[in-house]
Amino acid sequence: MGLSNAQYDRIMKIYDQRRSEHSLEQQRRKEECYQKIPALRALQQEVVQSALSRVRASLRKAGEAPVPAPHRSPAQAEKLRRRLLLENGYPADYLDPIYSCQKCKDTGYIGELGKKRCSCFQEAVIRLFYQQSGLSEVLQLENFDSFDLSWYREDLIDPRTGRSSRDLCEDVLNSARQYCRLFDQGGNRNMLLFGPTGVGKTFLTHCIAKELMDTRHSVIYTSSQDLFDQLAREQFRYDPDEDLSFSREFLPESDLLIIDDLGTELTNAFTSTSLFTLLNSRIQAGKGTLISTNLRIMELRDAYTDRIASRFIGSFTLVRLFGEDIRCQKSTRFARQG
């Protein structure tokens, strides 16, 4: 699981804020109860004095007068406190410490040495990854469970392979699932999805993104246009206060970078150089890159450079989708239904 220092700090700030909010709420509850139940305030003062008495007794030197024993033991005081709360219409645990997670007490860590991450920490990681990916809402609709093979016709034959659109898509779907399964097991982390417009490439990248984020992998999703716009802003510093964390931290550190619709941006020397540098650095770092494009390999070579085409051929699993434009099919079907 790729978790950068900044991402870790962001999660720990959530825990800090949570503990602070709970502390304020606990103090509010105490003041509320002390005003309504004066005996509770007197009991609390007695508990504090008893604790001080025990400390003084432990520090008493030989020959000194003994310290009077507390009126009640801590267990007796706690029992009385709970009884007073119940008698006045409050839950018995109303003044107990407040935690969102009882297992880690809102620290994020459990175990004897406090070094094992709690399940709530892992959930926080997933929520953060979803938030940073920008895909939180769309992935509820577009995922492996909702992938619909019926949009790929069995009677539409691919002239290159002699196979139907449905058969080819089933293979692609299996390849995508295997890509996720083997992501941490030495499989090729780089994939290039290509095919004509509207055949489900972006949908499939969403499926892969959700599968990996649900298993606590960091995913950065961006269109090619947004990617190069952001890199240009950071490279040429149009805004001197520009946050550089995207290119300096999220791009190199994320487990998977998804670039959607490569080739739709304005290509020039800057985009070609940036793309090659980005691909090369992520390949060397063992990070995954998933790219969708309407262009074939030779068209990518013409749009960019031979070096980039070579990276795709040598370091990426090439996956081709074939079929009719699904958006057009849906439009036609809805028009008939209407």
From first to last of its 338 residues, what are the pLDDT tens digits of the chain? Answer: 456 777 888 899 999 999 999 999 999 999 999 999 999 988 888 877 777 776 666 666 665 655 555 567 778 888 999 999 999 999 999 999 999 999 899 999 998 777 888 888 878 887 887 777 777 788 889 999 999 999 999 999 999 999 999 999 999 999 999 999 999 887 789 999 999 999 999 999 999 999 998 888 888 888 899 888 888 877 776 556 555 556 666 677 788 999 999 999 888 899 999 999 999 999 998 999 999 999 988 899 999 989 999 999 999 999 999 999 888 888 776 666 65
pLDDT at 246: 61
Coil vs helix vs strand at 190:
strand
Establish if 264 belongs to a structural domain. Answer: yes
Shared domain check, 115 and 147: no
Q: Which of 120, 148, 175 is the last residue of a domain?
A: 120
Question: Does one domain contain both 186 and 316?
Answer: yes
Q: Is there a domain that residue 127 lies in?
A: no
Which residues contact residue 221 at a Cβ distance below 8 angstroms, ignoring those fewer than 6 apart? 133, 134, 135, 205, 209, 258, 260
Can you give the pTM of this predicted structure? 0.69
pLDDT score of 1: 47
Beta-carbon contacts of residue 87 (< 8 Å; ≥ 6 apart):
none
Q: Are 247 and 282 in contact (CB under 8 A)?
A: no
Is the same domain home to 96 and 193?
no
Cβ proximity of 37 and 84 under 8 Å: yes
Region at 105 (left for phi over 0; alpha for psi -120 to 50; beta for the rest): left
**pLDDT at position 37, please?**
93
pLDDT of res. 69: 57
One domain for residues 221 and 165 = yes
Domain that holds residue 38: 5-120
- Contact status, residue 221 vs residue 289, Cβ threshold 8 Å: no
| Whether residue 200 is found in the same domain as residue 312 | yes
Q: Are 3 and 249 in contact (CB under 8 A)?
A: no
CATH of the domain at 174: 3.40.50.300
Q: Are 273 and 169 within one domain?
A: yes
CB within 8 A of 91, min separation 6: which ones?
A: 85
Judgement on whether residues 295 and 155 belong to the same structural domain of the protein: yes
Same domain membership, residue 236 and residue 145: yes
pLDDT confidence of residue 192: 96
Rounding to the nearest 10 degrees, give the CA dihedral for residues 233, 234, 237, 239.
Answer: 70
Nearest to 102 by CA among 110, 112, 94: 110
For residue 157, what is the DSSP state?
Answer: B
Same domain, 142 and 213: yes
Same domain flag for 100 and 188:
no
Q: Indicate if 75 and 151 belong to the same structural domain.
A: no
Total domain count, the chain: 2
